[in-house]
Structure 1
Amino acid sequence: MTGPGFAHLLRLGDDTGLYEHADGPLPRREHGYCLDDVARGLVVLCREPEPSADLVVLVERYLAFTAHAQADDGRFHNRLGTDRAWRDEPGSGDWWGRALWGLGTAAARCPVPWIRTAALARFERGAHHRPPSVRSMAFAALGAAEVLAGDPGHRLAAELLGDVSSYVGGPGDVPGWPWPERRLFYANAVLPEALIAAGHLLGDPGIRDDGLRLLGWLLTVESAGDHLSPTPTGGRHPGAPRPAFDQQPIEVAALADACARAHEVTDEPRWLTGVHRAVAWFGGDNDLGVPMRDAETGGGYDGLTRDGPNLNQGAESTLALISTLQHGRALAGSAG
């Protein structure tokens, strides 16, 4: 499978932001924009080691959207209509966490100095919140990890990252179910990834090892033989039958993110398995043996149903594809 392409991401956007939904490869403009997706876009674009001029323009656009979404108190709106009016009040749900993830990544990795400065200021405006949702906090922790890796003395980032372990918790003592929740939900691998990042950057091997243990268990649970069989949209409880549908690309991308970080932290080859399985899932090595990407458009399909792919190519699924292929390319480059 080739590396990531950005043609479909360009197709899904305009000079305001990124349309959330698509009908096949065509953006459904009537549904408007979503900060969740724009923030995911900031993450993947700022991971590019040598972004083209077109991609830098997208970073500028996504950063402007994220800044516009942020209220004075650091919380964020999530949904913007095509009339450029917000459809919600500022909050600290998942979109707050993803916004801090995107801003932290831009602040640490973007090659354009003014973008790094502006992104860091917006990160700092929002990093003092502590929402009730564990996933909101875990997404934000990944942004804090980016900031702290570049600036080990950054107090706000260190405090946010230091608080995430109390949200996630460590492995439980239920036989066969060490997961800290009673069931798996969505983007599950972000929880152990946040622990791995916190333990590594804050010098706490216990927290790091908790994250590695949870991730190893999750990789086993979300595999069937040699391919991924991820948690479906309805979640998964102990003893649930498999395969189960609908499967979402975001689950696969989160697992690739976490395994790539685990490999970076430990240099243990076993974590490469997770990345390779995630890349292969999009290529057709999944429960139905069908590709989950459109080779012509570069878009990612919205989900794997029991009847085959959902052929719509929205922003979330396309960014999940791009993110996963970035990890595959990085590992191929290091192996070469």
Structure 2
Amino acid sequence: MPATVADRTVRLDHLAALSTPTGLFEHALGTAPRVEHGMCVDDVARALVLLARVPSPDARAVTLTRTYLAFVRAAQRPGGRLHNRRSPDGAWLDAPSTDDHWGRAVWALGTAAARLPAGLLALDAHRGATDAMAARSPHPRSTAYAVLGAVELLRVHPHHERATRLLRDARSVLARPRADGRWPWPHARLTYANAVLPEAMLAAGDVLGDEALLADGLLLLGWLVAEQTVDGRLSVVPAGGRGPGDARPGFDQQPIEVAAIAEAAATALRVTRDGAWATVLDRCAAWFEGANDVGVPVRDARTGGGFDGLERTGVNRNQGAESTLAWLACAQLVGTARPRVAW
């Protein structure tokens, strides 16, 4: 009897249900948007990355792309900073800054500029990315996300001056491995979306021809994956983080951590052509399908919704934007890849 093939179709039904002509609601109660909690650039930027990578978008996908791009552009202010939080009626609720949402916006705008078909949307994204790259962030994750956007832009516009300068400046913000084989991570604890840090190193190292930076990124990413793999499945960092000696498994595990590993594995696969990273990608998708510490699905394959966390007794049944986008990104990135070598 043939083995069952997992359904990894990128279905936008639930994402569309969380969206409006203005943007994307951050939270959900079950599947219903929590309108009172508003919207944020953090999630809309992730959504723009996802939509910009859809190879043959239908009319709904194009509409969502326009909405998300307009939201991010509306958040921008002179000097490169961005607002993050927005009320349901469209008012910005915070001061512009270069916190994590800034880095995600640069990632999204650079990706859209590079991957959308030539035309007004791609041109608008290019302008937005260029404007945002005038700023700098002191925060490592924000800088790492921005690096990913600069790399996307440089792959199609190799002489983009601001993108090149951003990559060069980022080298002083991205911390290198510690000389401790058991815990080479440059920080005392793993926290959230950890894999974006080594992903930025290897992506920037590849574009800049910086072999040392590339090697450091691969070392940290390889260690991070091994640190979060048990018996051939992912067992990821819980919401409270993890340090050396912490009990495992920890809960509640967040889908964003799995998506960050998938994004980094896809970059490592592109840069190194090492088939081991296809195995990692497959394990990321499999985590959502039930190959995790509890053995339950963390996504709704029928609608494309993602559950808001893996808990000791099951899943958080709410399907917010971050978790939904985490599942959709994994499904998108894994594509038709299958494990080719053991990790």
Same fold (TM over 0.5): yes
Match of 1:38 among 36, 41, 44: 44
Q: In the alignment, what sits opposite 2:172? A: 166
Cα distance per residue 1:156-184 (max 9 Å; x no partner)? 11111222222122211124011111111
For residue 219 of structure 1, what is the amino acid of its counterpart?
V
Please, which runs of 5 or more residues in structure 2 have no aligned partner?
A: 1-5
Q: Which residue of 1 aligns with 2:291?
A: 285
CA contact under 8 A between 1:164 and 1:194: conserved in structure 2? Answer: no
Aligned to 2:81: 75
Partner of residue 20, structure 1 = 26
Q: Which residue of 2 aligns with 1:135?
A: 141
Q: 1:202 aligns with which of 202, 208, 233?
A: 208
Per the alignment, residue 187 of structure 1 pairs with: 193
| Distance in 2 (alpha carbons) for counterparts of 1:136 and 1:298 | 27
1:168–1:180 Cα contact (<8 Å) kept: no
Structure 2 partner of 1:324: 330
- Residues 278 and 324, structure 1, Cα contact 8 Å, conserved in 2: yes
Between 166-175 and 140-149, the greater mean CA deviation after superposition: 166-175
Distance 2:213 2:336 in 1: 26
Overall identity of the aligned pairs, in %: 51
**C-alpha distance in 2, partners of 1:280/1:102?**
26
Report the RMSD for the aligned CA atoms in angstroms.
1.3
* Residues 103-150 of structure 1: per-residue CA shift (max 9 Å, x gap): 000000012511111111111111022211100000111000100111
Distance 1:112 1:9 in 2: 25
Instruction: Tell me the SS of whatever aligns to 2:335.
Output: helix
Counting only pairs closer than 5 Å after superposition, residues 209-224 of structure 1 correspond to structure 2 as 209-224=215-230
Q: What's the counterpart of residue 149 of structure 1?
A: 155
Letter aligned with residue 16 of structure 1:
T
Give the deviation of 1:50 after TM superposition. 1.1
Deviations 1:58-86 (A, max 9, x none): 11111111111111222111111112211
Contact kept, 8 Å, 2:282 with 2:337, in 1: the verdict is no
Query: What is the number of equivalent residue pairs in this alignment?
Result: 333
Give runs of aligned pairs for residues 84-123 of structure 1, distance below 5 A.
84-123=90-129
When structure 1 is superposed on structure 2, of 215-224 and 50-59 the one drifting more is 50-59
Amino acid in the other structure paired with 1:324:
C
Q: Does 1:306 align with 2:312?
A: yes
Query: What is the CA–CA distance in structure 2 between the aligned matches of 1:187 and 1:165, rounded to whole Å?
Result: 19
* Structure-1 separation of matches of 2:75 and 2:134: 17
User: Which amino acid in 2 is paired with 1:322?
Assistant: L
Task: Name the residue aligned to 2:258.
Answer: 252
Amino acid at match of 1:66: V
Q: Which amino acid aligns with 1:197?
A: A
Which residue identity lines up with residue 25 of structure 2 in the other structure?
Y
Match of 2:3 in 1: none
Opposite residue 122 of structure 1, the aligned amino acid is: G
Q: Distance in 2 between matches of 1:293 and 1:315?
A: 12
Instruction: Give TM-score scaled by structure 1 length.
Output: 0.97
Residue from 68, 72, 80 that aligns with 1:62 = 68
Gaps of 5+ in 1: none
